[in-house]
């Protein structure tokens, strides 16, 4: 019976009922819940609604108001539009392509040969997290490579890159001069582009280019209801604001002994933060200024709670906006596994993994904040830290799946502050227990809820318009 008050209190503060999405929650409603510890995460049956046979037709990669590149298709027979960006990463293409931060973008690989070690299975680890992917689906809108390996060889591989792209409904192009593409993007900046399969290029189609910056992409990749991942090695509990969280971020927290409960990006986290030992803001796609609700909730959180906070990538930018700083759009962004970042507090340089098109304008930071890291290639901001509180953010990815692990110690730094906060709260609240109740853990989903796989930008724009119309109708009612 001692557990009952905490269960009632937990459900009262809104982990489940407060989410205004009854349809999503109905999946987890039951008459008599069976309480189990460490409920296994179930691998869902992947949807193949968007699947097509592999297309080997003529393919055209067109940059708006720029050059046209003719190549050969090796993915889905689908025409799409998006923002063309490039990565200089030599390995890790399964992780990159499943990173939600690439939603709405056409990813150009500078590595000449891609696909030689195939695509691994969707196997999961002991915590139920994907071993080889950063999300359940391919997130990029399209793929462009100089040469694709149709024959692959690796002990984890179960299919080719082309087969995977076709299954996921994502078009892919090979046989184009990626050096010329990258040179153009470096000179002109990230540009809108299209992939057209089996059709001749028509200049009149230029008006069909869709700008992903018009869309709140975070709303497309964030969970629609809370989900929970338990850790069997520790007793801290962190609330994660899911803006498109990568699996390895969750693994980095859970593997260090912290259970995590992930919330939708626009959840009023300041109302429930006192039930947790820390708050974490994840990576995600697109322009951070679209997430005004998240910024407001973070500002209220910092005003009302001393809880430790850490942000990565988009989470770092949202943290800066909440503090009062501004963000800027970079010319062509930073996407690689070998970018040097200087730690301003120690003078040490770390090789980092990055994937972002926006950055924090460090000159706009309030007086109680300071720069934490600086990019040694372009001098852009790579991190901020509060001068007196356990709050910091990094633009790069310390978890670096597919990249270096130089900065993974930052998770240890964060969780040390989480442990200190938990111990401090125990002095004033001896009966405080931040661990989720077994019943609540059983009721919550074990992976992100209601996230729709990637589609072409035209479909995303239509989905966004439909969502806005539905929201307007709900407000009017």
- Hey, which residues are catalytic here? 313, 397, 399
Sequence-distant (6+) residues with CB within 8 A of 349 are: 340, 341, 342, 343, 376
Q: Cα 345 to chain center, whole Å?
A: 27
Q: E-assigned strands of 285-348?
A: 309-312, 326-343
Other CB atoms within 10 Å distance of the CB of residue 246: 27
Q: Residue 288 is encoded by which pair of tokens?
A: 């951070």
- Residue count of the chain: 477
Q: How far is CA 433 from CA 235, 236, 240, 250, 319, in A?
A: 9, 9, 18, 22, 27
Count of alpha carbons within 13 Å of 160, Cβ hemisphere only?
Answer: 13
The packing angle between helices 292-304 and 314-323, to 10°, is: 60
Other CB atoms within 10 Å distance of the CB of residue 148: 24
* Sign of the torsion angle spanned by Cα atoms 346, 349, 355, 356: positive
Q: How far is CA 380 from CA 25, 75, 176, 357, 403, in A?
A: 42, 36, 31, 11, 20
Reference 354, options 342, 378, 338; nearest CA is 338
Residue recorded with tokens 């915590």:
127
| Cβ atoms 244, 314 nearer than 8 A | yes
CA angle 375, 377, 379 (to 5 degrees): 50
Question: How far apart (Å, rounded) are the C-alpha atoms in residues 37 and 414?
Answer: 26
Reference 335, options 280, 285, 281; nearest CA is 285
* Sign of the torsion angle spanned by Cα atoms 291, 292, 294, 295: positive
């Amino acid at each position: 019976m001692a557990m009952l008050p905490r269960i009632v209190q937990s459900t009262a503060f809104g982990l489940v009922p407060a989410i205004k999405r009854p349809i999503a929650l109905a999946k987890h409603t039951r008459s008599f819940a069976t309480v189990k510890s460490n409920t296994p995460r179930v691998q869902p049956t992947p949807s193949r609604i968007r699947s097509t046979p592999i297309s080997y037709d003529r393919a055209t990669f067109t940059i708006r108001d720029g050059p046209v590149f003719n190549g050969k298709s090796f993915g889905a027979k689908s025409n799409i539009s998006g923002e063309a960006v490039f990565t200089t990463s030599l390995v890790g293409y399964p992780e990159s392509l499943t990173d939600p931060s690439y939603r709405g973008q056409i990813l150009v690989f500078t590595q000449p040969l891609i696909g030689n070690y195939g695509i691994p299975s969707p196997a999961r680890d002991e915590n139920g997290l994907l071993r080889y992917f950063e999300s359940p689906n391919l997130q990029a809108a399209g793929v462009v490579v100089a040469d694709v390996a149709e024959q692959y060889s690796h002990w984890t591989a179960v299919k080719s890159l082309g087969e995977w792209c076709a299954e996921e409904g994502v078009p892919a192009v090979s046989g184009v001069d990626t050096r010329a593409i990258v040179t153009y993007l470096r000179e002109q900046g990230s540009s809108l582009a299209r992939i057209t399969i089996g059709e001749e290029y028509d200049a009149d189609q230029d008006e069909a280019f869709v700008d992903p910056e018009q869309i709140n992409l975070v709303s497309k990749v964030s969970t629609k209801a809370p989900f929970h991942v338990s850790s069997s090695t520790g007793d801290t509990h962190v609330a994660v604001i899911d803006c498109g969280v990568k699996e390895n971020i969750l693994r980095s927290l859970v593997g260090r002994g912290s259970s995590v409960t992930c919330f939708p990006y626009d959840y009023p986290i300041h109302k429930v933060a006192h039930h947790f030992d820390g708050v974490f803001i994840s990576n995600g796609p697109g322009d951070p200024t679209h997430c005004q609700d998240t910024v407001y909730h973070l500002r209220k959180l910092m005003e009302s709670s001393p809880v430790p906070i850490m942000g990565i990538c988009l989470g770092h930018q949202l943290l800066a906006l909440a503090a009062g700083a501004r963000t800027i759009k970079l010319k062509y962004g930073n996407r690689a596994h070998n970018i040097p970042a200087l730690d301003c507090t120690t003078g040490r340089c770390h090789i980092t993994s990055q994937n972002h098109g926006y950055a924090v304008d460090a000159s706009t930071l309030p007086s109680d904040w300071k720069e934490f890291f600086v990019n040694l290639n372009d001098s852009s901001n790579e991190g901020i830290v509060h001068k007196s509180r356990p709050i910091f953010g990094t633009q790069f990815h310390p978890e670096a799946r597919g990249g270096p692990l130089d900065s993974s110690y930052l998770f240890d730094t964060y969780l040390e502050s989480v442990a200190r906060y938990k111990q401090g709260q125990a002095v004033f609240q001896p009966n405080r227990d931040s661990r989720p109740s077994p019943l609540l853990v059983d009721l919550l989903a074990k992976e992100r809820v209601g996230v729709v796989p990637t589609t072409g930008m035209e479909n995303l724009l239509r989905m966004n318009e439909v969502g806005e119309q539905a929201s307007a109708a709900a407000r009017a009612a």
